[in-house]
Amino acid sequence: MHQLATLDYIVFLFYFLVVAGYGLWIYQRKKKASVDSKDYFLAEGSLTWWAIGASLIASNISAEQFIGMSGAGFKLGLAVASYEWMAAATLIIVAVFFMPVYLKNRIYTMPQFLSTRYNGTVAMIMAVFWLLLYVVVNLTSILFLGALAISSISGLSLSLCMYGLAVFAIFITLGGMKVIGFTDVIQVFFLVLGGLVTTYLALNLVAEKFGTTGVMNGFHLMTSNASDHFHMILKPDNPSYLDLPGLTVLLGGMWIANFSYWGCNQYITQRALGADLPTARNGILFAAFLKLLMPVIVVLPGIAAFVLYQQGSFQTELLNADGVIAGDKAYPVLLNLLPAGLKGLSFAALTAAIVASLAGKTNSIATIFTLDIYKKVLNKNADENKQVQIGKIVVVVAMLIAVFIAPHLGIDKGGLNYIQEYTGFVSPGIFAMFIMGFFWKKTTSNAALFATIGGFLFSVLLKFLPGMIDLSSLASIGFSKANATGVFEIPFLDRMGIVFALCIAGMYIISMFENADGKKSHALEVDTALFKVSNSFLVGSLIIGGLLVALYTLFW
């Protein structure tokens, strides 16, 4: 039944009042201090390690994870968990090597890093690009997919859900990063608790379908009745190889996607840029631990739905309008089976994930526009109050644009692929530009421009290359596979790896050529002593590394 009971509304109202009330309390406490742009945009010195870690996860997990990853779990199984588990490893590397460089050089935004390391032209090009990407692709798709998911569960109209999410997110965002960071702790609490409730129900349903009870029995039944859904490394003959091409998740393009997202992305790094190094590192480590838990919440329900479908359940509920099985319906179908009260809790979890992502994305948009465009170009003399005021205006304007564009996106609940497709065209170039800027002093501004523009062009070329030449010869080495129409494509993650290699090669050649002409680059202050970590961080990192080895060994 696609509607909420009275008890569900009471649970959801409790969630709303807790988040809104706590956010208002934080905001009122903050108002007593003087207005400062870095405090507003970055919560400089205010966020604790647990608030940073929770905010990272709350900003990252949204409808495309709950709906899209459960759908991928239904379709291809546990292998999609690599996006979460490899992110845990990536976060540790970002904490050790990226954050010290940012904080030592007092970097507050990603365009500022590019301006400091390269020049204002590179920074301005990327600032405008990031604004367009964040507003037109990320913010809009999060809003639309979130409203679509909530509408399918609650029975409320899509427009009402969209407006409600937008207003809730604006309310949180206008309080600044400190309000976002601390309310994200509550958002993550509801996200995890509600998500675990749904997983518990799903595993119990599997057990009951086979005449037994208990979540562990349900899990064992899933592994025995859908053993093909419990392999982390897919073989070339797997139908989903184009999505997750085998060892590439461990040795190739998955790293590029993760480093670009977790280490070179204002939306994510902003949570830690206002803290000192130990606090930032501990927060990121906490996020890495939470990442290990995410597949339990967003992937296992999809696999459970697959097993139940194989046993005769959901035969009509999982069909789309064309009569084709739609894995993306798995999570909403499971939520609609929850009893009153628990459905409200899971509904609150999904809403928390969406609102936190919207708030984080909108704050990043306001930060980049205010600090990297308005302050540097439009009004260089803007004082702190004016910058905060402009930031709040941008928050509202960005959300209004998203509300206007969202209904016209032309995407469905498979929006995880939509976001990856568009961001993946630029991720290899961005990561190449950052990693070379970090660790090779000879890298020049023109080399960075090559990575930015050339990386995008290479990605477009490889995307449409299968339509121009036959790539079937690459199938023997696992670098191509026939798609649904019989055309041999290069898997998406492999394309990213190839483009990254081309960008690095091009940057090296351009930089060496310009260095031979005596051109100077703007090297950052990088001291290897910055990369030393505390014993507690080292122990936590080793635990995560050990768990990842165990998981990949167990489910290889």
In this structure, CATH architecture of domain 6-19+49-414:
Up-down Bundle (1.20)
Torsions phi, psi of 212, nearest 5?
-135, -170
Are 317 and 333 contacting, i.e. CB atoms less than 8 angstroms apart?
A: yes
Round to whole Å and give the CA distance between 50 and 301.
Answer: 27
Round to whole Å and give the CA distance between 38 and 47.
Answer: 13
Query: Which of the 8 DSSP states describes residue 133?
Result: I
Q: Would you state the pLDDT for residue 303?
A: 92
pLDDT averages per 10-residue partition of the chain, 556 residues = 76 83 74 60 71 83 78 88 92 92 83 85 85 84 82 81 88 76 77 84 89 88 90 84 82 88 82 83 93 91 90 79 74 81 81 82 87 84 83 89 79 55 80 88 90 89 80 74 76 88 94 76 70 91 94 91
Query: Which of the 8 DSSP states describes residue 299?
Result: T
Are 42 and 273 contacting, i.e. CB atoms less than 8 angstroms apart?
A: yes
Round to whole Å and give the CA distance between 107 and 115.
Answer: 10
Inter-axis angle of helices 266-273 and 342-368, nearest 10: 90
H-helix or E-strand containing 205?
helix 177-209
Bridge partners, residue 319, by sequence? 325
Round to whole Å and give the CA distance between 129 and 430.
Answer: 11
Mean pLDDT for all residues in the chain: 83
Q: Would you state the pLDDT for residue 65?
A: 78
How many other CB atoms are found less than 10 A from the CB of residue 397? 15
pLDDT tens digits, one per residue of 65-92: 787 788 888 888 899 899 899 999 999 9
HSE (side-chain half, CA atoms, 13 Å) at 159: 2
The single residue listed with the structure tokens 């899990």 is 219
Q: Which of 399, 401, 415 is nearest to 359 (CA)?
A: 399
Are 290 and 383 contacting, i.e. CB atoms less than 8 angstroms apart?
A: no
Round to whole Å and give the CA distance between 172 and 367.
Answer: 15
Q: Would you state the pLDDT for residue 38?
A: 65
H-helix or E-strand containing 451?
helix 445-464
Round to whole Å and give the CA distance between 331 and 308.
Answer: 13
Inter-axis angle of helices 120-132 and 445-464, nearest 10: 40
Round to whole Å and give the CA distance between 316 and 321.
Answer: 11
% helix, strand, coil for the chain, step of 5: 75, 0, 25
How many other CB atoms are found less than 10 A from the CB of residue 200? 15
Q: Would you state the pLDDT for residue 413?
A: 43
How many other CB atoms are found less than 10 A from the CB of residue 164? 15
How many other CB atoms are found less than 10 A from the CB of residue 325? 15
Q: Would you state the pLDDT for residue 419?
A: 64
- Specify the pTM: 0.85
| String of DSSP letters for 520-532 | --------GGGG-
Are 239 and 79 contacting, i.e. CB atoms less than 8 angstroms apart?
A: no
Are 537 and 282 contacting, i.e. CB atoms less than 8 angstroms apart?
A: yes
Q: Dump strand ranges (E) for 358-499.
A: 481-482, 488-489
Q: Would you state the pLDDT for residue 2?
A: 59
pLDDT tens digits, one per residue of 248-264: 888 888 899 899 889 88
Q: Would you state the pLDDT for residue 487?
A: 76
- What would the two tokens of residue 349 be? 């979890």
Round to whole Å and give the CA distance between 266 and 114.
Answer: 12
The single residue listed with the structure tokens 């993946």 is 424
Every domain of the chain and the residues it spans: 6-19+49-414, 424-525
Are 522 and 118 contacting, i.e. CB atoms less than 8 angstroms apart?
A: yes
